[in-house]
A and B are shown apart, each in its own frame.
Chain A
Amino acid sequence: DIVMTQSPATLSASPGERVTLSCRASQSIGNSLAWYQQKPGQAPRLLISDASTRATGIPLRFSGSGSGTEFTLTISSLQSEDFVVYYCQQYDHWPPHRFGQGTKLEIK
């Protein structure tokens, strides 16, 4: 089975900073990569699909890049509501919905 590895597990940053979260696939997945944001007590929200396409209503400060096995989610200027957990998910190989373990973004 494919394995998705996110790094770092926890990222400390300050409001206004630019941050980059990483996701690595154990084998090539083309651009079949999604990013989700999960706030406490809520369901995950789709941010990015196909590695770089923002979902409807997602602010421009969120951007995704990468292909093959290496992917990144960049938040250009952190807002207070961005300090939550982020997951990547591949949908190219079986099993169809395999997630990374998550990156928690915390306030420095």
Chain B
Amino acid sequence: QVQLQESGPGLVRPSETLSLTCSISGGSISSYYWTWLRQPPGKGLEWIGSIFYTGSANYNPSLKNPVTISVDTSQNQFSLNLRSVTAADTAVYYCARGTPGLYSPLGFWGQGMLVTVSS
């Protein structure tokens, strides 16, 4: 059973970069797309982007911040960098995986990590 775990700072200052890592256990990073989503407090779910294990990434064009998702197959993990954050980027950040393919339901989720943007 695949398990996902987000890690990183829980507090980021405005204008800085939010960096999170998702560690994968119980399965290989290979052959799947890996996804980041977020959920502001009391609000709905927003897709940030997804990356294939080869490194090919797709991002939500609605995001105002520059975003990069990268993959480290040797460590079985993938990462999110969201630059120039503001208070509006305060949210619970989730990593997730679906079936093979970019367009898929998301059957595996990390527990989520609250990241607060504040000075």
Interface residues of A (CB under 8 A from B): 1, 32, 34, 36, 42-46, 49-50, 55, 87, 89, 91-92, 95-102
Contacts and interface: CB of A to CB of B under 8 A. Distances in A.
Nearest to B33: A96
A87 B111 contact: no
Contacts of A50: 105
A102 B94 CA distance: 17
Given A97-B47, A99-B44, A91 B111 contact: no
B111 A42 contact: yes
Given A43-B111, A97-B35, A97-B37, A34 B44 contact: no
B111 A96 contact: no
Contacts of B94: 43-44
B110 A43 contact: yes
B57 interface: no
Contacts of A42: 111-112
